[in-house]
Chain A
C-alpha cells in the first residue's frame, strides 16, 4: 500500500481506464489506498481457514467418468480441472475462496509433452532392447535397472513440479502462489537420500522427509512472500522407533503364524511335486488372510506415525507471523484412506472425485492458521512463465487431487 505494487505500471489502477476505454476514467491519483476496509499494512490480521462443502460432487464425478470414456480418455484433464476448481473454491481463507486458475488444456499439453519426451522414447528403447538383445539377455536387466533409476529420479522432480504448477495456478484475492527453486535439485536430493534408505535400514526416513519438506515449504511463495519451515527431524524419531519395531514385530508375528498354521493343517510334503510340497486351497486363503491382517496392522501403525509427522510439519510451517496447526489423527487417516479405497473400488472408479474431495475436506478441516498476517504488505509475485501442466506428475500419478 505504501509502496507501489509491482504491477502498477501495467495496471495503473483497477479503477482506471479499462482496455476498451469506453467508460469514464475515474483514475483517482489523490487516493493511493482504496483498500480502506482491509487491515493496514504491518498490523496483521488473523485469518480463519475453513471448508465450505461443495455441492454436486457426485454428479461431477460420474459426469467426468462417463465423459472420459466417451472421449477416449482425453476429457480426463478437463474433468480433473473442474474437480480442482471445486476443491479450491471450498477452501475459505477469511471467508474468501481460493481460486484454481489452471486449465484442462495446460494439463493436456503437459501430459503430451511428457508422453512424447519421456514415456514414448523409454518404451521404444525398451522394445528395441528386447528386439536387439532378446528377452532373456542380461542386457535387458541392465536396461530395466536404468529405466527404474530414471523413473526414481524423475519422481522427485515430478513431485516438485506438480506442487509448483498447482501453486502457480492458485490465487487468493487475486494474489498467486508459486515456488522459487529448482525441481532438479529437489529431484537429486530425493533420489540420493532415497538410495540411503536400505543402507540405513530405514533410519534416514524421518530426517529425509523433513529435509524434503523443508525444500517444498521454504520454496513456497504466496505473492512475494515466502513460507518458512522450521521443523527438525528429532521429535519424529521416538515414534519412528516404535514404527520400526512395530513393523518388524508385525512381520515376525505374521510370518510365524503363517508358518505354524500351514505346517499343522494345510501343507503336505509331496516328493513328486517339483517344489517338494503342496498347499491346499484353503491354506492359500489362510495365507491371504494373514497377509491382509498384517497389512492392516501396518497401516494403523504407519498412520499413527504419519499423523504425528503431518502435525509436526504443520506446526513448523509459518507464513508471515502466522503458524499452521494440524490435528490429524491416526484413526482419521485410516478411516479416510479405507473409505476412499472402498468408494473408488465399489464404484469402479466412478466416484474418484468424491474420494478426492473427501481427502481435501479432511485435511483442510483439520488445519488452522494461528497468528496475524500483514495482508497489505503482500504484493503480487512473479509469474514464472509456466505454461504447461504437471505432465510428469500425471505420468507417475503422484498427485492426490
Chain B
C-alpha cells in the first residue's frame, strides 16, 4: 500500500491543489506536496514543501504564507531508512506541529541534506555511548580482576557482625542438612582445645566456631561470621593433629580476611547485575542460597589465607609442616603445579564411593577444587624459619578427635 501523491482521499474537503502536477523545479530545487497540521486540532492543510540548503520551506497556498524549519531542529516520526517513501517531520520549536510529505524522492533527498535523521545516525547515536560504557565497564572489571582489588571485600566489611553470624549459620546449616553433626564429647573437647589454641593465636575479632560434619568428602569450609566446617573425611585423611591444625589455621585465614562474606556479596552483586542486564525480576537473587555453599577462592585469596595460617601456627607454636603435608598428600601430583584436581586418583583408590550427591553439592567439591596451589604452599612452608613447636594436641586427644563422629566407621576411614 503505497501512498498516492494526491492527498484528497477520505479526509473529505481536502482540496487537491497539485495532485497531477509533477514536482516543479524552482531556483532552489523541486517542490513537493505535503500536509501540515498545527497540532491544535486533528486537521491538516495542504502545503508546498521545498528543500533548501539550510532547511525546509513550507508554503501554504491560500492565503500564501511561508514557514521555514532549519534542518538542525527537525525530528522525524521514525528514522529515515534507505527505502523511506514518506517522511513525517516535526520541528523542535513548534512542539505539536507536523508536516507529512509522501511524494517520491522527498525522504531520500532529506536523508542527504539532514543526515542526522537517518536510521544509522539515530542508531549509532544511541548505541555509541553505551558501547563505550560497556567497554569501559568490562575493562574496569578486567582491571579489578587483574589487580585483585575487590569492591566486594570493602562492602563485606560493612556487614554488621550479627548479620555475618546469621549468614554463616545458614551456610553451615546448608551443609549439615541431611547429615549428622559429629559431637562425641571427648572428640569435641579435644577439638575445642585445638580451636581455642588457634583462635587465641589468630587474634581475630572473635573466637572461631568449628563444626564437624559426618561427610566422606575431604574438605574444610570457611563460613561467614568466624565459622568453619570440617568434614569427617578430612579428619580421617589427616595423619596428625598438626595437619588438622594447619587446615584450620588456613580456614581461619579466610575468615579473618572475610573471604566468605566477600564471596556472598560478589555473588549477590552479580545476580543483581544479571537481572539488570536481562531485565529479570529478581529471580537470580532469589536463588542465591544455592550459591552460598559453592564459593571458591582466587589464588591471591588462598595466598592471604596461607600467610595467616603460617602466622597463626607460629604464634600457637605448632609446626607449619602439617599444613604443607596435608595439601601435598591430597594433591594428585605433589611436585607439579596443579591447580585443578584431575579425578584425584589418590582419593579414588582408597576412599569409598562417594555417597549419592546431595542436590546442594553438585559438581566437584573436594578440597583441591576449593584450595588449589599445594606446591606453592609447600614452598611457603619450607621457607619459614624454624621455631620450637609442640604437637597440636596430645596423642590421646588426637585419638579422641579422630573418633568425633563415633567409633571408627566400617572401611571408609581412609586411614592407611
Contacts and interface: CB of A to CB of B under 8 A. Distances in A.
Interface of A: 1, 5-8, 11, 13-15, 18-20, 23, 26, 28, 31, 34-41, 45-48, 50-56, 60, 63, 67, 70-76, 78, 82, 85-86, 88-89, 92, 94-100, 104, 111, 115, 119-120, 122-124, 126-127, 130-132, 134-136, 151, 171-176, 222-223, 373, 375-380, 394-397
Contact of A40 (B13, B66, B173): B13
A131 B39 contact: no
A97 B13 contact: no
Given A35-B41, A173-B37, A123 B286 contact: yes
A4 to B, nearest CB: 9
A82 B78 contact: yes
Contacts of B122: 82
B119 A56 contact: yes
A94 B43 CA distance: 11
B96 A11 contact: yes
B303 to A, nearest CB: 29
A378 B41 contact: yes
Residue from A95, A126, A378, A380 having most chain B Cβ neighbours under 10 A: A95
9 contacts: A48-B9, A71-B131, A85-B79, A88-B78, A95-B7, A98-B77, A99-B78, A120-B282, A376-B43
A15 B65 contact: yes
A123 B282 contact: yes
Q: Is the interface of B mostly helix, strand, loop or mixed?
A: mixed
A96 B10 contact: no
A83 to B, nearest CB: 10
Nearest to A111: B279
B93 interface: yes
Nearest to B15: A37
B174 interface: yes
Contacts of A126: 282, 285-286
Interface residues of B, number: 79
Nearest to B278: A73
B158 interface: no
Contact of A37 (B10, B14, B93, B123): B14
Contacts of A151: 281
Contacts of B66: 23, 26
Contact of B170 (A18, A130, A397): A130
A47 B95 CA distance: 25
Interface in B263-284: 268, 271-272, 275-279, 281-282
Interface of B: 1-3, 7, 9-15, 35-46, 60, 62-63, 65-68, 77-79, 81-84, 86, 88, 90, 93-98, 100, 102, 119, 122-123, 126-127, 130-131, 133-134, 137, 163, 166-167, 170, 173-174, 177, 268, 271-272, 275-279, 281-282, 285-286, 288-289
Given A130-B288, A394-B279, 6 more contacts: A7-B39, A15-B38, A46-B12, A95-B102, A119-B281, A380-B96
Contacts of B60: 15, 34
Contacts of A88: 77-78
A386 B42 CA distance: 22
Given A23-B68, A26-B66, A85-B79, A71 B96 contact: no
B78 A89 contact: yes
B52 to A, nearest CB: 13
A73 B277 contact: yes
A124 B11 CA distance: 56
Given A97-B100, A173-B43, A55 B11 contact: no
Contacts of B9: 48, 94-95
> Which 8 residue pairs across A and B have the least CB separation, nearest first?
A174-B39, A38-B43, A73-B277, A123-B282, A5-B40, A123-B285, A85-B78, A71-B130
A60 B79 CA distance: 11
Contacts of B98: 99, 171, 173-174
A50 to B, nearest CB: 6
B10 A47 contact: yes
A36 to B, nearest CB: 6
A60 B134 CA distance: 21
A187 to B, nearest CB: 17
Nearest to A3: B41
A74 B130 contact: yes
A365 B229 CA distance: 66
Residue from B9, B67, B133, B279 having most chain A Cβ neighbours under 10 A: B279
Given A123-B286, A127-B285, A376 B41 contact: yes
Given A56-B119, A70-B131, A94 B289 contact: no
A34 B46 CA distance: 10
A120 B46 CA distance: 53
Contacts of B285: 123-124, 126-127
Contacts of B272: 120, 123
Contact of A174 (B13, B96, B102, B123): B96
